[in-house]
């Protein structure tokens, strides 16, 4: 019995660690995707503005808040305004700049108007620490 106890404990610890890693990767995916979309749209996206319709805080971290933004983009090159929801990370001190009613800067994919990202060059989401 003494042989099995450390083995079972080790297996349980490994299973727990795998669960934590998988959970963390899955929860961070939407935020990574929005950041990657921004990196792509910085090169080829069309600048536009968007009105924040709603902001929902999903989680609060030490420095950043995970939020879900509901925005309406302005009319762009004959395209009608489009409502879009996406998840992003915003520094706690900067969340006030993304409250409903605020206008933010976004980048829109000219080939796919549903691909929208915050233009971090003009609407800052992070603070250098």
How do residues 47-75 score in pLDDT, each as one tens digit? 999 999 999 998 887 888 889 999 999 87
Token digits for 96? 């006030």
Token pair listed for 53: 């319709």
pTM of the model: 0.74
Grouping H, G, I as helix, E, B as strand and the rest as coil, residue 34 is helix
The answer to whether 71 and 116 are in contact (CB under 8 A) is yes
Q: Which of 126, 107, 112, 3 is nearest to 48 (CA)?
A: 107
The series of mean pLDDT values per 10 residues for the chain, 129 residues long, is 76 81 72 84 92 91 88 83 89 92 92 88 81
Q: List, for residues 72-84, the tens digit of each pLDDT value.
A: 998 777 778 889 9
For each of the domains in the chain, give its residue range(s) and CATH number, in order of start: 30-118 (2.40.50)
Distance between CA atoms of residues 2 and 88, nearest Å? 49
- Calpha distance 40→115 (Å, rounded): 10
Distance of CA 122 to the CA centre of its chain: 17
């Amino acid at each position: 019995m003494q042989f099995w106890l450390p083995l079972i404990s080790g297996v349980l610890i490994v299973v727990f660690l795998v669960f934590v890693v998988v959970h963390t990767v899955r929860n961070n995916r939407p935020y990574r995707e929005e950041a990657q979309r921004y990196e792509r749209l910085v090169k080829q996206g069309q600048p536009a503005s968007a009105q924040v319709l709603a902001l929902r805080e999903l989680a609060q971290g030490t420095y950043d808040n995970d939020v879900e933004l509901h925005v309406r983009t302005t009319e762009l090159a004959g395209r009608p305004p489009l409502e879009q929801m996406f998840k992003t990370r915003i520094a706690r001190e900067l969340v006030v700049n993304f409250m409903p009613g605020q206008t933010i800067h976004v980048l829109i994919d000219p080939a796919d108007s549903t691909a929208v990202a915050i233009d971090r060059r003009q609407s800052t989401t992070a603070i250098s620490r």
